[in-house]
């Protein structure tokens, strides 16, 4: 599967500029994927260190092979795990140096979407899986077949912002009472039956998009640990180091935006106070006050970049 692992990096030039790369610096790619971003970072290092983290074993294998072909005197280290646990992963690997830049590219890699058997796509009939780390137990199949109607409604509403969450959850429970739901095509059929045609999304998006997003987030626990992870990663940065985060939907972007703002302006004093008395000092500077999005030329080459947003902070 290694040879098939492709990744077209989104907002590549914007990320490279945002990281403010130093040839002898130490950089962390928290979501290594197919090494699209990392291969370009490595080319720009000379005597530095690049660390890549990914929970997908296929990604680690493929990225390591790809980066071994990059001509660079810099060192590359791959760590398997979740970037939410980056401080512990780095410590276990004996990496104690501060970081000069960190990149997080949230969401699903192109490979995970394109390999049918992974079950991330609603366009193909495949096993209902959606695990980024295939060694973990929880899958989309287990959620769909064992979670209560209330819990299904909650994740579809909270993680997918799906207006028809209750109706979809109810039809899921009705169908699974007859036979287990094990294929993506079955789930798409359920969503199709639950949402009246006259109320389908008017933005041209697939009616299953929100449900599949919600299940993927729930399977991989993508949102709850994000804020503490951003704060922990910021602590790993050297002064002047930058944290760049690419998000692909409003839920992620909202967490990143609010976390960055609170780190840049943590004061809790009432606005009426003439001076700060809470003592909370900013730890970062906002480099981007609004998200950076893909150019028209990038969108023409890679439509998947349409929903990408990049936010950057610099450690004080």
Which class would CATH give 117-219? mainly alpha
Q: What average pLDDT does the chain have?
A: 94
- pTM for this predicted structure: 0.93
Answer for the pair 64, 78: CB distance below 8 angstroms, yes or no.
Answer: yes
CA dist., res. 217 & res. 106, Å (int)? 11
Say what the pLDDT of residue 197 is. Answer: 83
CATH fold for domain 2-107+223-315:
Rossmann fold (3.40.50)
For the chain, give every residue range classified as CATH 1.10.150.170. 117-219
**pLDDT tens per residue across all 316 residues of the chain:** 443 555 679 999 999 999 999 999 999 999 999 999 999 999 999 999 999 999 999 899 999 999 999 999 999 999 999 999 999 999 999 999 999 999 999 978 777 777 889 999 999 999 999 999 999 999 999 999 999 999 999 999 999 999 999 999 999 999 999 999 999 999 999 999 999 987 775 656 799 999 999 999 999 999 999 999 999 999 999 999 999 999 999 999 999 999 999 999 999 999 899 999 999 999 999 999 999 999 999 999 999 899 999 999 999 9
How crowded is residue 61: how many other Cβ atoms within 10 Å of its Cβ? 16
Say what the pLDDT of residue 2 is. Answer: 40
Dihedral of the alpha carbons of 244, 246, 252, 258, in degrees to the nearest 10: 30
Read off the pLDDT of residues 265-288 as tens digits, 9 standing for 90 and up.
Answer: 999 999 899 999 999 999 999 999
Using alpha carbons only, how large is the chain's radius of gyration in Å? 21
CA dist., res. 95 & res. 89, Å (int)? 9
Read off the pLDDT of residues 176-194 as tens digits, 9 standing for 90 and up.
Answer: 999 999 999 999 999 999 9
For the chain, give every residue range classified as CATH 3.40.50.150. 2-107+223-315
Say what the pLDDT of residue 111 is. Answer: 72
* Bridge partners (DSSP) listed for residue 312: 244
């Amino acid at each position: 599967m290694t040879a098939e692992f492709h990744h077209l990096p989104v907002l590549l030039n914007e990320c490279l500029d945002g990281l403010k790369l130093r040839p002898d610096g130490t950089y962390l790619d928290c979501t290594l994927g197919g090494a699209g971003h990392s291969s370009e970072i490595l080319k720009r290092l000379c005597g530095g260190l690049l660390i890549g983290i990914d929970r997908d074993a296929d990604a680690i294998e493929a990225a390591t092979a790809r980066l071994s072909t990059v001509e660079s005197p810099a060192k590359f280290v791959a760590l398997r795990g979740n970037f939410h646990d980056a401080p512990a992963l780095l410590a276990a690997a004996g990496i104690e140096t501060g970081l000069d830049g960190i990149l997080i590219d949230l969401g699903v890699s192109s490979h995970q979407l394109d390999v049918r058997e992974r079950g991330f796509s609603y366009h193909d009939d495949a096993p209902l899986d959606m695990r980024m780390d295939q060694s973990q137990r929880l899958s989309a199949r287990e959620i769909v077949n064992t979670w209560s109607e209330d819990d299904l409604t909650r994740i579809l509403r909270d993680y997918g912002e799906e207006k028809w969450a209750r109706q979809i959850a109810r039809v899921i429970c009705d169908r699974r009472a007859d036979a287990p739901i094990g294929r993506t095509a079955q789930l798409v059929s359920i969503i199709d039956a639950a949402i009246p045609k006259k109320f389908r999304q008017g933005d041209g998006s697939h009616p299953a998009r929100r449900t599949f997003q919600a299940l993927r987030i729930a399977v991989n626990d993508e949102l709850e640990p994000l804020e503490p992870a951003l704060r922990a990663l910021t602590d790993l940065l050297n002064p002047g180091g930058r944290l760049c985060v690419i998000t692909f939907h409003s839920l992620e972007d909202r967490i990143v935006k609010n976390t960055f703002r609170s780190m840049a302006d943590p004061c809790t004093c009432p606005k009426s106070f003439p001076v700060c008395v809470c003592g909370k000092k900013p730890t970062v500077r906002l480099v981007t006050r609004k998200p950076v999005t893909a150019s028209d030329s990038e969108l023409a080459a890679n439509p998947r970049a349409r929903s990408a947003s990049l936010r950057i902070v610099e450690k004080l």
